Structure 1
Amino acid sequence: MRPTSLLAALSAAGVASASPPRWNPLVLRQNSTDDVNPFAGKTHFVNPAYAAKLEQTHAAFTAKGDSANALRVRKVQQVGTFVWVSRISDLPNIDAAVEAARAAQTKTGQRQIVGLVLYNLPDRDCSAGESAGELKSAEDGLRRYKEEYIAPYAARVAAAKDLDFAIVLEPDSLANLVTNMEIPGCAAAAPIYREGIAHAISALQFDHVHLYLDAAHGGWLGWDPNMPAAAKVFSEVVAIASKNGTQKARIRGFATNVSNYNPFNAVVRENYTEFSKSWDESNYCTSLSAYLKEEGLPARFIVDQGRVQMPGARKEWGEWCNVEAGFGPVPGTSNNNTVVDSLVWIKPGGESDGRCGFPNSPAAGQWHDEYVQMLVKNAHSSIDSVKL
């Protein structure tokens, strides 16, 4: 996702990949505590709906006689990805994920952790508009968000206590409150964002649900002036959530790089990162963690590596739309950073960022098979080790 005020910011300037142990449903799960990594010993949920979309990609490589990349598609189809719930009409996506995860858990005996994205704030995407949502605050959007979206969302995950959930809350939203308040739409949306996200946090306080607030990425909030300001905004929203509920609201941590292209460990440090401590996502997590701790927040992260930029593919951090990339490291790969719970694939590679960037890109969210073919060709080497 995009840092709309990047120029202003510049001027201001894990888990092992081995198979987890079998889950015994007769043994009570350990209580969700701050020192337990929710991804440890669990299998990242593989979304059959996303795997089905990749059949088009497999067919394209097969038609070209490219058996090597056709095989790689089959391996990508076995990789865990997050399920996006971006509209009220998407709520059945949770039902489908729960059913599929239960089937996988029964078949393998391995505890599943289902990744979900909660993304439907009123006045969503206030700074850019490529991913503007269905709800508007001027049209009773906040009430609808709470009653028609959050309430059934929470009911669905609450009923699936036999699974674990990692839920990313509202990508881009709070970052806009840090850097984009000069944009009238964002200034007007600020109180709606705070109240809406706080309500979502308080509604999702279940032991088997692990909440990660979106913290943008190193190219957006990773600059020295932005990190303490971001931590303060996060703290204020969690405090509102605590006032809403009967007990102190808990979040597990923060999600970074959602739908963006920053590598976790950069092989090459790009020139545009010269004056930043957060020149890759591992450094961003480490840099931000100190400010989070000062605000009394958990300094723990998941990092989206679904689409990792190719070195030199961008000339500036502000390029955010359908950038040249490859599928990143397989989720759960050891990350060598103690504040990071897991590398994950949050953005399903192949779903367009918008009508921009890569040639002939369709509207945001639509399938772009030429782009996903590129992701396959440029995929991280860990993809080749995935077992079929």
Structure 2
Amino acid sequence: MRTSSLLAALSAAGAVSAAPRFSLRQTTNDTTAPNPFTGKTLFVNPSYATKLDQTHASFTAAGDTANALRVRKVQNVGTFVWVSRIADLSNIDAAIKSAREAQSKTGERQIVGLVLYNLPDRDCSAGESAGELKTAQDGLRRYKEEYIAPYAAKVSAATDLDFAIVLEPDSLANLVTNMEIPGCAAAAPTYREGIAHAISALQFGHVHLYLDAAHGGWLGWDPNMPLAAKVFAEVLAIASKNGTREAKIRGFATNVSNYNAFDAVVRENYTEYSKSWDESHYCTSLGAYLEEEGLPARFIVDQGRVAMPGARKEWGEWCNVEAGFGPVPGTSNNNTVVDSLVWIKPGGESDGRCGFPNSPAAGQWHDEYVQMLVKNAHVSIDGVKV
């Protein structure tokens, strides 16, 4: 998914908006709930690990035994499983089966990371990740009945596992900054109703929901954060009205499929006027506005791909950026509002025919790019057991 329009945010960066009020205070923000990642192992997706065999073979053929070993370590890192079409619902079954096998073998409680990503009129501002459903073609009914209902049935039945589910990357951020785009304005009611329905349908004790909150370079500007918190609160309110009890989420996911560092070693020039200059600062900054709305200031942060210092000239560069695998899930982050660093979008699939030389079409495996990610990987990868 490409980063959506930043022009509105950048042009308004000097303005400050007062945080709006809402009525969810004390209902969606349960500060006593334990961190769902504590004491659990993030599920290692065998499907993703198998794709990396090609990268291992490439290093082995070149005689690079050190990086071949690093690939084996990457193959043992927990990653999220994407469910981006109705046909992908079978990915949940495969993940549950594999997680149960791992749990039985190791005795370690597994937390399965899933991405719920199939809204009608998806990716309204860019179209790079447009999905299968259209509102004008009965998409919202199909989303609820053919996608959300079986999704909920599958995870609700697997009470022997925990689930961390990221809801609809990029969607609500478009409602904050891109309502001047006709496609986004038209999609707004569907986005609100669809995501609220998903939240209300997934209210299970072993399921932990994280609503997507884009990233610091998109929503992290002063004018955008209070507006974002208001949109999130509105959707939670709709979800609560849908159910028989108050709908709750654990928190928010940031940086999904993007390249921002959690704790930047170098502050890039293009972040000069932003207090959200890396994802740790963004979580802290946004958290204050979320709490004003009665929302939980809890986060998971995608570090599957992290741009190398100086690799981007502006925040809007989103396609196959020079990068490395980021800190492995569970790496200490020293931010009390962050539940865990995670790999939601692990490196491998191309963002499109752009950025890195000879990049294939979006979604295709990009082995040369993965080799670069391995060579530039965060030092924490060396501590992973094989």
For the aligned pair, the TM-score class normalised by the smaller chain equals over 0.9
Offset at 1:321?
A: 1.2
Work out the CA distance in 2 between the residues paired with 1:125 and 1:356.
19
Work out the CA distance in 2 between the residues paired with 1:34 and 1:138.
43
Corresponding residue for 2:100?
A: 102
Corresponding residue for 1:53?
A: 51
| TM-score under structure 2 length normalisation | 0.95
Structure 2: segments with no counterpart, 5+ residues: 14-29
Which amino acid in the other structure matches residue 294 of structure 2? G
Corresponding residue for 1:174?
A: 172
1:250-329 superposed matches below 5 A: 250-329=248-327
1:137 aligned to 2:146?
no
Which amino acid in the other structure matches residue 233 of structure 1? V
CA RMSD of aligned residues (A): 1.0
Work out the CA distance in 2 between the residues paired with 1:346 and 1:80.
9
Give the secondary structure class of the aligned counterpart of 1:58.
helix
Work out the CA distance in 2 between the residues paired with 1:359 and 1:171.
27
Corresponding residue for 2:17?
A: none
Identity of aligned residues (%): 88
Work out the CA distance in 2 between the residues paired with 1:179 and 1:2.
14
Which amino acid in the other structure matches residue 10 of structure 1? L
1:387 aligned to 2:385?
yes
Asked whether the equivalents of residues 57 and 372 of structure 1 are also in contact (C-alpha less than 8 Å), the reply is yes
Deviating runs (4+, > 4 A) in structure 1?
A: none
Offset at 1:385?
A: 1.1
Give the secondary structure class of the aligned counterpart of 1:91.
helix
Q: How many residues align?
A: 370
Corresponding residue for 1:213?
A: 211
Which amino acid in the other structure matches residue 376 of structure 1? V
Asked whether the equivalents of residues 3 and 258 of structure 2 are also in contact (C-alpha less than 8 Å), the reply is no
Which amino acid in the other structure matches residue 199 of structure 1? H
Offset at 1:181?
A: 0.4
Corresponding residue for 2:5?
A: 5
Corresponding residue for 1:146?
A: 144
Of 143, 152, 155 in structure 1, the residue corresponding to residue 153 of structure 2 is 155
Corresponding residue for 1:67?
A: 65
Asked whether the equivalents of residues 73 and 385 of structure 2 are also in contact (C-alpha less than 8 Å), the reply is yes
> Which deviates more from structure 2 when the two are superposed, residues 228-237 or residues 367-376?
367-376
Asked whether the equivalents of residues 300 and 341 of structure 2 are also in contact (C-alpha less than 8 Å), the reply is yes
Corresponding residue for 1:22?
A: none
Corresponding residue for 1:44?
A: 42
Corresponding residue for 1:350?
A: 348
Asked whether the equivalents of residues 34 and 252 of structure 1 are also in contact (C-alpha less than 8 Å), the reply is no
Offset at 1:33?
A: 7.6
Asked whether the equivalents of residues 31 and 296 of structure 2 are also in contact (C-alpha less than 8 Å), the reply is no
Which amino acid in the other structure matches residue 202 of structure 2? L
Of 85, 89, 92 in structure 2, the residue corresponding to residue 91 of structure 1 is 89
Offset at 1:358?
A: 1.6
Offset at 1:283?
A: 0.1
Work out the CA distance in 2 between the residues paired with 1:34 and 1:228.
24
Which amino acid in the other structure matches residue 155 of structure 2? V
Asked whether the equivalents of residues 229 and 290 of structure 2 are also in contact (C-alpha less than 8 Å), the reply is yes
Corresponding residue for 1:19?
A: none
Of 226, 231, 237 in structure 1, the residue corresponding to residue 224 of structure 2 is 226
Offset at 1:38?
A: 0.2
